[in-house]
Structure 1
């Protein structure tokens, strides 16, 4: 990873173990690998992506950041800057609202990184981006993602079918001040 990927912005978020940086051109190779890996990205909406789709999505993600002030972060380990995956706040294509998404490399699972990144993204969304409601969608059978969402305090509020699979909609409401 070159020095450009470590450029800090006002939307960079730091936790005790992670650095979340808005995605940019320097992340293309990492994103292409992650989004092309079935184990890492197979359960995401629309599944794995070919390289040309990843490049288009990166351009869209950068434009989204510019327009909205929130979007997709590359998640890096603070200790050595290793790329772990992504966490995002993005508009759902089905009109349900702004949704939390996360996908990390399988070898990083079980260490609490997804939970830590998702918690930081939700806090950013409610506090810095002034989002009153953030949702997350998980397959009923994706127990790991559901456990992360429930541990973060999101609650299941509805469900819907997608391709014969029951999808659960969770929500986080901005705390009253």
Structure 2
């Protein structure tokens, strides 16, 4: 692998005090299949849980997104143990609202600040990558996600209804 490709890959890795965030590769497919099929995790996400086939398609889409945009979704790992915790990163909203921050970590991660740490690092990366406005969407009843978004400095910017749920829009401007 050339030095330029190695430099590009390492520039996409985000490291925090406790986390390592790495763009997903084929080696992450088994973890992603488990995460995205889990109702406790992806039941909150747009379009809900995913089949293994859909997860494989999304992995390809994530790789393409990184190549085209220079930012995307990361797999989130605990640095100390190397344990896969979930995902965090960016997607283009299919409803045209813009580039959205999203995160989905195992329920066992709740209350430990991992989502907050990953989301804060991703938001900073996105603004450094040139995103002037980043949004995030949370269901009204998802108090934990709303608290994370507020804590990392995102502010309310609207709402809409989706499949009977009141969805709150948050934004961050560079």
Please classify the TM superposition score into its range, dividing by the shorter chain length.
Answer: over 0.9
Q: Are 2:166 and 1:163 equivalent residues in the alignment?
A: no
| Counterpart-to-counterpart distance in 1, 2:115 and 2:88 | 8
Residue 134 of structure 1: aligned partner: 134
SS at match of 2:86: strand
TM-score by length of 1: 0.92
Cα offsets for 1:63-101 (capped at 9, x unmatched)? 110111100100000001100000011100001000000
Aligned ranges 1:46-85 → 2 under 5 Å: 46-85=47-86
Q: Which residue of 2 aligns with 1:121?
A: 122
Corresponding residue SS for 2:11? coil
Larger helix share, 1 or 2: 2
Give the ranges of 4+ consecutive aligned residues of structure 1 lying more than 2 Å apart after TM superposition: none
TM-score (norm 2): 0.94
* Structure 1 portions without partners, runs of 5+: 1-7
What is the aligned residue count?
Answer: 166
Unaligned runs of 5+ in 2: 1-8
What's the offset of the Cα at 1:9? 2.3
Distance in 2 between residues matched to 1:108 and 1:45, nearest whole Å? 21
RMSD of Structure 2 on Structure 1 (CA): 0.7
